[in-house]
Structure 1
Amino acid sequence: MAAPPPGSAMGMLPPDEDRGPQLVAMFWTYTSIAAAMTGLRFYARMQIRAVGWDDWMMLATVVLFGIATSFVTYMASIGGSRHVYYLTMEQTLKAVKFSWISQPWAIFCFATGKASVAFLTLRFIGRNTFWRKWILYYIIVTIFIANGLGCIITFVQCDPPRALWTPDIPAKCWDPSVQLHYNYFLSAYNIAADIVLAILPATFISGLNLRREKKIALCVLLSLGFVAAIFSGLKVRYLDKLGARTDFTWNAYDIQVWTGAEAFVMMVCGNVPPLQLLWDRYVSHKLDSSWSRTPLKYHSNGSNGNYSGSEKSGPSRHLNSSNSSQKGPSHTQVVAAGYDATLPRYPGQIYATTNVEVHGHAANRDFV
């Protein structure tokens, strides 16, 4: 058993409670749900042959979070969520060790998760949006740097690093406030990135050639980062417990809970927009069974054509056909990965077509 807190008698020790089972259940629930959603995301994208960087970044996020969950599980199994005063020295050293080791995996999953959202937003941006693209690329690069430094600082603050969980060896360690202040900065930067990623879609969705309700729905889906920002803000008040060097196993519980919750919300919000394809196909039935058979092109009754787009055209594409000779309706209905818009008739270009579907990605732009 570890020494009691300074100034306390054995009878004044806190009760011996183990919060490990709750922590493990929560983390594995989060991991399972996130993995299931990411699996469905890949299924939807593979159906339209449109797997992209945003999908791989989200997969990396789930893998990193799963590794962190495994460390948390082992840590809890050896008493890592109990008061340190009730643990043997061996239990204490192992619990504190795996608590520190789990941190970089959890920290870096925020970088890949936010990068996934940024790459997803890039799918919608047209050619004439230079400043928006560079904002997104800036976020991707700097979010990796900022969170990567957070991982590095975790271990370089002590020389040798194992002094973090073996306090009786000779070592040189920074003041705990160094890591604490950087974590405050990192949380603030992550919150700012979430807010920018949530606001940016509203600056170009209004210019897409979609019905108003579709614009609103798309804007809401791409702005779910506000929810992640809220959870990140709630976590900040527990960051000071990372600098605690007494009863570390108990004090780290709150920050672990909120870190897991923030990562879970980020993964769920990042997976929702791509899953709209499955929703439209199997729930709202806005897409028919042909959606998975025409991944990268539209099909029209007897017409061959191509499509191109700009920021104003959005998911609806202007269609050109050079070998159509039939005369038909005065408008064409275009369905692009669940979003539709009515195009005016283009004389001499497309005829006898009542429904055109576009799924996946075309030219220089992908779709959700």
Structure 2
Amino acid sequence: MSGGPPPPGMLDPSMLPPDEDRGPLLLAQFWTYVAIGSIMTALRFFARFKIRAVGLDDWMMLATVILFTISTGFVTYMASIGGSRHVFYLTPEQTLLAVKYSWISQPWAIFTFATGKASVAFLTLRIIGRNTVWRKYMLWFIIATITIVNGLGCIITFVQCDPPRALWTPELALTASCWDPSVQLHYNYFLSAYNILVDIVLAVLPATFIANLSLPLKKKVALCILLSLGFIAAICSGLKIRYLDKLGARTDFTWNAYDIQVWTGAECFIMMVCGNVPPLQLLWDRYIAHTLDANWTRVSTRKYASNGSGSGGSGYSYEKSSKNSRVRLGSSNSSTANNKSPTHTQIVTAGEYDGSLPRHPGNIYATTNVEVRADARHFV
């Protein structure tokens, strides 16, 4: 097969590496990511529409899936013409098109990091509400800077050469004005490092307010894990950094770009999955755990134990606490015509009750199941 000239030092055909095409593997990876990300996002919107609570975090995640799908489309065309083979096995026309669409696919993938992380930030904002001012401003700062930093990464991709077509047209590269490849390389190091920092901050921040919630420790830990999945994206981004130096090597570009494409796709996928998991808890609660009823209202049943003395009945007073959104059971005193002594009611939760309530002659012991309902829109 005719192709471009071999790289320096490899003029002998016997020294050339095997003609391998890694395109099919790359496409299987990317389209699997698109399918899973699309399904999860569709389920997310289904749950949010059910409770009439679609927000900016949902639209940002939808934008992330769309951007990644567009990038996958360009990668698909690139791979179909041999864009994942060694460049010196390609014809000049194949080389031009493969390199061209490899460059064009990059900005779409880069900006998925901005929209994906913005989605997580908007989700955190809607959870904490007006919890504290500093958290709110920190999240808005993250949304603004992650958009700017990744946006500049998209711009630098094409402004590094004048005209931009010189990036994939060898004839123009001889006369075009281009920056040193190290400029883009160094900015990509900064871009990756900042994305990792944002992932870590977004993973840690929820724990700072979950710790103050009036919840059992087990529930706090579960929420922290659920909202801290961004650590996985940070790890993936860290692994990608070691391949960034290949962007500066323009020789055998189609082969060298493969590792970057693989890890970029994996990072986008993990970001889509981790960003979609918390909202999908609604579907889990509705159809698996059955803690949401048919009206998507959260239902929980708690068991309470009580004892009262005398023949008078014990009364319960129910008070909705606006501070912590729990139902608080109080006690009431009552008396009968024949017995003037008050009836005392002691309330404990099922987890606290071990059958050791004080027992007195003539007491009546009862266990009451209390059903608590709350609008699912107040939950993730």
TM-score range, shorter chain: 0.7 to 0.9
Aligned to 1:357: 373
- 1:333-368 per-residue CA deviation (whole Å, 9 max, x = no partner) reads 9xxxxxxxxxxxxxxxxxx9943422344xxxx531
> How far 1:123 sits from its partner (Å)?
1.5
Structure 1 residues 204, 85: CA separation in 2 closer, same or farther (over 3 Å shift)? same
Aligned to 1:143: 146
Aligned to 1:282: 287
Is there any run of 5+ residues in structure 2 with no aligned partner, and where?
300-318, 329-344, 350-367
Structure 1 residues 355, 172: CA separation in 2 closer, same or farther (over 3 Å shift)? same
* Letter in structure 1 aligned against 2:205: L
* Letter in structure 2 aligned against 1:355: E
- 1:46-105 per-residue CA deviation (whole Å, 9 max, x = no partner) reads 111111111000000000000000000000000000000110000000000000000000
> How far apart, CA to CA, are the structure 2 residues paired with 1:122 and 1:201?
10
> How far 1:208 sits from its partner (Å)?
1.5
> How far 1:128 sits from its partner (Å)?
4.0
Q: Secondary structure at the match of 2:373?
A: strand
- 1:184-219 per-residue CA deviation (whole Å, 9 max, x = no partner) reads 000000000000000000100011122222111111
1:183 to 180, 188, 200: 188
Q: Where does 1:131-280 land on structure 2 (aligned, <5 Å)?
A: 131-169=134-172, 170-280=175-285
Contact 1:332 1:354 in 2 (8 A): no
> How far apart, CA to CA, are the structure 1 residues paired with 2:346 and 2:63?
47
* Bigger relative contact order (CA 8 A; separation at least 6): 1
Q: Secondary structure at the match of 1:274?
A: coil
Question: TM-score with structure 2 length normalisation?
Answer: 0.81
- 1:238-282 per-residue CA deviation (whole Å, 9 max, x = no partner) reads 001111210000000000000000110111000000111111111
Aligned to 2:8: 6
> How far apart, CA to CA, are the structure 2 residues paired with 1:116 and 1:330?
46
Q: Secondary structure at the match of 2:296?
A: helix
Is there any run of 5+ residues in structure 1 with no aligned partner, and where?
295-304, 320-328, 334-351
Identity %: 73
Aligned to 2:89: 86
> How far 1:112 sits from its partner (Å)?
0.3
Contact 2:320 2:326 in 1 (8 A): no
Contact 1:331 1:354 in 2 (8 A): no
Contact 2:203 2:231 in 1 (8 A): yes
Aligned to 2:34: 31
Contact 2:149 2:191 in 1 (8 A): yes
Aligned residues: 324
RMSD in angstroms over aligned alpha carbons? Answer: 2.4
> How far 1:180 sits from its partner (Å)?
0.2
* Letter in structure 1 aligned against 2:130: R
